[in-house]
Amino acid sequence: MDRTPTVEDVALVAGVSRQTVSNVLNAPDVVRPATRERVTQAIAQLGYRQNAAARRLRTRRSSTIGIHLDPYAGGVSGVVLDRFVHALTERSSERGMRMLVYAARTPEEELARLADLTEAGEVDAVVVTGTFHGDPRTGWLVERGIPFVSFGRPWGADDVSAPAHLWVDVDGAAGTRAATERALQTAGPRVAFLGWPQGSGTGDDRERGWREAGGGGPRLVTEESVPGARAVVEQALTEHLDAVVCASDSLAIGAHMAAVAAGRPELPIFGFDNTPAAEALGLSSVEQLPEQVAIGALELLMGPSGTSISPRPAVPGGAHVLVEPRLVLR
């Protein structure tokens, strides 16, 4: 075909109506699977590409999902969010959607930015990252009926049976449980946990996995920093430890430095995030699989194969995707 293929061409090849082709492109869930497959094959055969500008005019939607870019805070664990945003951009593009990245330094500033974006019709939905107890952003979005999914659970009394909104998360407790069980099997019974002060939903969840696995060592606490982790573990190593399970790779790097300084470079240290820094130092770490998180977020917002925003109802047991992390041993 010398000219650019049209919807009519796709309909002719697939043996369906123009409206059926439009439904496959914009609301595939309403089309029978066999018919949808015929149309999809015709699209591939002809090399048809939907005109994004025409689609936006026709549907009065922006075909855009907004996501907040956190300010750079140093450390090594920001790579996880970078990988998530990259995967989300790639996967949303496959569905005919675009990602709009916006910056804000505080939750209040982010709410103002969200108000501007939604009132101007620049985004059809939002992905919220870095959720925490009492997060004002999620309540604001729920009140206004703006479709969204959070990377991070609502941290309510029961996020599964009584979900406040759609969410996708990594099972942090499963990750540290696997790390602790491995340490108990291969190193010994005194497995310490190095985490953050209580009150961080993510940190508390990761600590829970260590407790459930029966780590028999002390609970060590520091803020998220390599020097802080090193100082705390140096003090802890005045007594015997068999291994240390950490809430992040930054903490694991500090723990490793302390072990080397104490003459125990062989001390098993387990991190969380599987960053390039952990790989370079040969530290075992929990891989969050951010690519799977991105797939889960889009399925909650758009369905398994949708090309427009059609959020899943936030019903008990069905409002979330919990990704099982993978322990990478080194």
Instruction: Dump pLDDT digits (tens) for 143-175.
Output: 999 999 999 988 876 788 888 899 999 999 999
Q: Each residue of 234-243: pLDDT tens digit?
A: 999 999 999 9
Residue-level pLDDT, tens digit, the chain, 330 residues: 567 788 888 899 999 998 898 888 777 778 898 999 999 898 888 888 765 555 554 556 678 999 988 776 656 667 888 899 999 999 999 988 999 999 898 889 999 999 999 998 899 999 999 888 888 999 999 999 999 999 998 887 678 888 889 999 999 999 999 999 999 999 999 999 999 999 888 999 999 999 999 999 999 999 999 999 999 999 999 999 999 999 999 999 999 999 999 999 999 999 999 999 999 999 999 999 999 999 999 999 999 988 889 999 888 888 999 999 999 999
Other C-beta atoms within 10 Å of 133: how many?
A: 11
Residues of the chain with CATH 3.40.50.2300: 64-170+290-324, 172-287
Report the chain's C-alpha Rg in angstroms: 23
- Contact between 285 and 246 (Cβ < 8 Å): no
Could you tell me the end-to-end alpha-carbon distance of the chain, in angstroms, rounded to an integer? 54
**Rounded to two decimals, what is the model's pTM?**
0.79
Say which CATH topology domain 7-50 has.
434 Repressor (Amino-terminal Domain) (1.10.260)
CATH of 64-170+290-324, one of 3.40.50.720, 3.40.50.2300, 3.40.50.11540, 3.30.565.10: 3.40.50.2300
Overall CATH class of domain 172-287: alpha beta
Residues of the chain with CATH 1.10.260.40: 7-50
Angle at 301 between CA 60 and CA 22, to 5 degrees: 45
